[in-house]
Amino acid sequence: MSDLSADRVSVAFAGLSALSEVDLKVTSGQIVGLIGPNGAGKTTLVNVLTGFQPATEGTVRLDGQPLSGLKPHEVRRRGIARTFQGGRLFRDLPVIDNLEVTGVGLGLSRAAAIAEAEAMLDWVGIAPLADRIAGTLPYTDERRVAIGRALMRKPAFVLLDEPAAGMSAQEAQDLSALIRRIASEMGCGVLLIEHNVGLVLDLCHHVVVLDSGVVIETGGPAAIRASERVRHAYMGTAADTNLPVLEVME
Amino acid sequence: MGSLLQVIFDALSLGSLYALGALGIALIFGVMRLVNFAHGDVIAASVFALLWPSVDAVAIIFAGNLPWFLLIPFVLAIGAGLSVASEAVVFRRFRRTNPATMMIASFALGFVIRYFLLMLFSSRPKSISLLPSLSQPVEILGARIPLLQIITIAVTMVVLFGLTAFLRRTRFGLEMRAAAENFTMARMLGVRANRVIMGAFALSGALAAAIALILGSQTGTANIMMGANVMLMAFIATVIGGMGSLAGAVLAGFLLGAIATVMQVILPPDARAFRDAFVYGAVILVLIFRPQGLLSARGTRERV
């Protein structure tokens, strides 16, 4: 059992507060959702957790050990992987190479990296696309490549930044089945940042809601669904809307 | 028939020089977003490495008397070494700066190398006899083609295929392709950034040295400015090819070689002195219609 936590993490850009004393914890096999309106600081928090952005205050810990000062690739070597909004694949490279270079970068021999990349493509369900140039794929497949790349060498934690953005309901369903398997079959702790609130409430064991850099609510999906504060943050008013409407709006 | 063949060989061998130069520039641009204007001076320095420092008009041969199978690796090693040293001493410090700053640094480094050569060798071109057996002509279908042209084209083909295989088939090549497209991402995934950059500089320097060998044998002179013209054309080829695209750089290098050669033939004799103006005019036309380059590299548009 592993756990990844943010302890009273604050980030300020030129004096403006992007995150303020945020606490968050993910453990192995758990799917934690991170939601909040645009500009709430979700991606900033992921950047802090993965070493892309130093925290102004507070600490990120992996199994109690602080990760402060580590570079992104050092964080990745310790088993914390992430995806990026929009995929950020090596678009000129074949799909298999996208995964292979990750395996090689993480210390595998080439042969071992190729073998693991092939197994991983199969696992995320896109084995037939191995030799396609990554930039030519439809975005649903691109997301799977990005997830497969993040899962190379079986990280203990994977942070998914808006994996379902722009997907239809059916496509999002297929994706959530995959995310579930990442937690249950692979035993990864998953932090899911997503605008599709319905998807998050459906998938996650625990949800953290950010607004303007502050955690305004945490709890199980039922508690989040019932929260007046969450509704308020999303709608800007306490109008008598309910969350299914939010899904449509997203 | 014979003269057509001659034109084709002229175009291919000139294009080969430009393609090798463009490749050397594109390799470094790919991993660092640096347009290395010192590249031309590395070409010159590689030739002068064969000579003993002296300001006399007559060259005092130093390594130039080595047999070819030692001379060629020696020159390639000089080019690669100088290029790697310029990364370690100069460019490494500019990695986080913007491309314009790096470009200015490369101009400055180029001048340092050039004036260093000037100090040791003076600005007078020196006559050297580099691989003289290559200047004999070979008769093909009635055309007399200099052996050197054929070797230039053949060497370029071998380099291109070799480099392609290297980039496709080796672990280092894989890391380099990933780094060229998105350096930050590659680094985040654990790609060994310093080694990849060093490797790109070593390859680029060796390519500069290959050009030096060809130019030195072709012209029979060593001149501190000898890399400047190739450098300019090679830089233009990388721009036309689409900055960062290796295939584009090579393609555009051959295209420029072809345009220059064809202009030389079709322009009226009075206008031939102005050939380069026509070549650059063609460059402007290409850029008007394909501002992103013939084959644009995605990596230059999308960065983490």
In tens, the pLDDT along B91-135 reads: 999 988 888 999 999 999 999 999 999 998 888 888 887 777 777
The string of pLDDT tens digits covering residues A164-179 is 988 999 999 999 999 9
Specify the pLDDT at position A77. Answer: 92
Residue B183 tokens, joined: 């350096």
ipTM given for this complex: 0.80
Q: How far apart are CA A142 and CA A148, in angstroms?
A: 10
Please, are residues A92 and B297 in contact by the beta-carbon 8 Å criterion? yes
Burial pattern B209-231, b for ≥16 Cβ within 10 A else e, equals bbbbbbbbbbeebbbbebbbebb
Query: Using 50, 70 and 90 to split pLDDT, how confident is the model at A20?
Result: very high
Domain boundary assignment for chain A: 3-79+155-249, 89-153
On the question of pLDDT at B301 being above 50, the answer is no
pLDDT at residue A241 is higher than 60: no
Cα end-to-end span (Å), chain A: 35
Query: Which of A238-242, B159-163, B171-175 shows the lowest per-residue confidence on average (mean pLDDT)?
Result: A238-242
Contact A106 B298 (CB under 8 A): no
Range list of β-strands (E), B75-190: 126-127, 137-140, 143-146
The pLDDT of residue B300 is: 47
Q: Does domain B2-300 have CATH number 1.10.20?
A: no
CA pair distance B4, A173, nearest whole angstrom: 64
pLDDT at B173: 92
Establish if B191 touches chain A: CB-CB under 8 angstroms: yes
Taking the Cβ of residue B301 and every Cβ of chain A, the question of whether any pair is shorter than 8 Å is answered with no
Do the Cβ atoms of B228 and B57 come closer than 8 Å? no
Q: What is the mean pLDDT of chain B?
A: 88
**Is the pLDDT confidence value at B84 over 80?**
yes
**How far is it, in rounded angstroms, from Cα B185 to Cα B168?**
19
Cα distance between residue B246 and residue B251, in whole Å? 9
Backbone angles phi, psi at B51, to 5 degrees: -110, 155
Strand partners, A217: A209
**Tokens linked to A201:** 């409430």
Task: Please indicate whether, in this complex, the C-beta atoms of A90 and B187 are within 8 angstroms of each other.
Answer: no
User: What does the pLDDT look like over B266-283, one tens digit per residue?
Assistant: 888 888 888 888 888 888
What's the burial of A45, exposed, middle or buried (CB within 10 Å: 0-12/13-18/19+)?
A: buried
| pLDDT for B35 beyond 80 | yes
Closest Cα in chain A to B245? A92
Determine the distance in angstroms separating the CA of A198 from the nearest CA of chain B, rounded to an integer.
29
Beta strand pairing status for A157-161 and A189-193? parallel
Q: Which of B174, B187, B299 sits opposite A104 (nearest CB)?
A: B174
Nearest to B127 by CA among B215, B239, B267, B222: B222
For chain A, counts of helices (H) and of strands (E): 10, 10
- As separate numbers, helices (DSSP H) first and strands (DSSP E) second, chain B gives 11, 6
Q: Which CATH superfamily is domain A3-79+155-249 in?
A: P-loop containing nucleotide triphosphate hydrolases (3.40.50.300)
Scanning the structure block, which residue is given the tokens 């999303």? A234
- Which among A72, A91, A100 is the nearest to B188, CB-wise? A72
B297 inside 8 A of chain A by CB:
yes
What CA–CA distance (Å, rounded) separates B94 from B260?
36
Which amino acid, B109? L
Q: Is the pLDDT of residue A240 over 50?
A: no
Pick the closest to residue A131 from B165, B168, B184 (CA basis).
B168
Q: How far is Cα A99 from Cα A151, in angstroms, rounded to an integer?
A: 9
Of the CA atoms within 13 Å of residue B109, those in its CB half-sphere come to: 28
pLDDT at B201 over 90: yes
Of A93, A102, A104, the CB nearest to B171: A104
Task: Return d(Cα B14, Cα B255) in angstroms, integer.
Answer: 10
Residue A178 CA to residue A171 CA, distance in Å, equals 11
Which has the closest alpha carbon to B176: B199, B160, B158?
B199
State pTM to two decimals.
0.81
Over range A74-83, report the average pLDDT: 94
C-alpha pair distances (Å), A1 with each of A21, A156, B146: 26, 9, 72
pLDDT of A205 above 90: yes
Q: Which of A41-55, A162-176, B25-39, B53-67 has the lowest mean pLDDT?
A: B53-67
Is the pLDDT at A239 greater than 70, yes or no?
no
Statement: residue A66 has pLDDT above 50: yes
Residues 162-181 (B) with a CB less than 8 A from some CB of A? 171, 174-175, 177-178, 181
| DSSP code for A8 | E
Tokens of B127: 């006559």
Per-domain boundaries in chain B: 2-300
Q: What are phi and psi of B112, to 5 degrees?
A: -60, -45
Tell whether the model's pLDDT for residue A230 goes beyond 90. Answer: no
Q: What was the pLDDT predicted at B53? A: 76
* Calpha distance A88→A104 (Å, rounded): 18
Pairwise pLDDT comparison (A189 vs B218), residue with the higher score = A189
Question: How far away is chain A from the Cα of B303, in angstroms, using its nearest Cα?
Answer: 8
Q: Which residue has the tokens 């290409």?
A: B286
- The pLDDT, as a whole number, for residue B296 is 67
Classify B269 as helix, strand or coil. Answer: helix
| Strands laid side by side in the A3-13 sheet | A16-27, A3-13, A57-62, A65-66
Please compute the mean of the pLDDT values over residues B223-232 and round it to a whole number.
91
Pairwise CA distance, residues B199 & B80, whole Å: 9
Strands A57-62 and A3-13: antiparallel
pLDDT at residue B19 above 60? yes
Please tell me the distance in Å from B180's CA to the nearest CA on chain A: 9
Distance CA A188, CA A25 (A): 13
Asked if B38 contacts B113 with a C-beta cutoff of 8 angstroms, the reply is yes
From CA A69, how far away is CA B280, in angstroms rounded? 51
Top pLDDT among B167 and A243 is at: B167
Q: What is the mean pLDDT of residues B168-195?
A: 88
CB–CB contact A93 B177 (8 Å): yes
Phi first, then psi: give them for residue A190, nearest 5 degrees: -115, 130
Residue B176 has pLDDT above 70, yes or no: yes
DSSP code for B297 = -
Task: State whether A72 and B187 contact (CB < 8 Å).
Answer: yes
Contact B49, B63 (CB under 8 A): yes
Give CA–CA dist B108/B288, Å, rounded. 30
Question: Two tokens at B35?
Answer: 């347009």
A155 SS3 class: coil
A53 touches A47 (CB < 8 A):
yes
In this prediction, residue B80 carries a pLDDT of 96
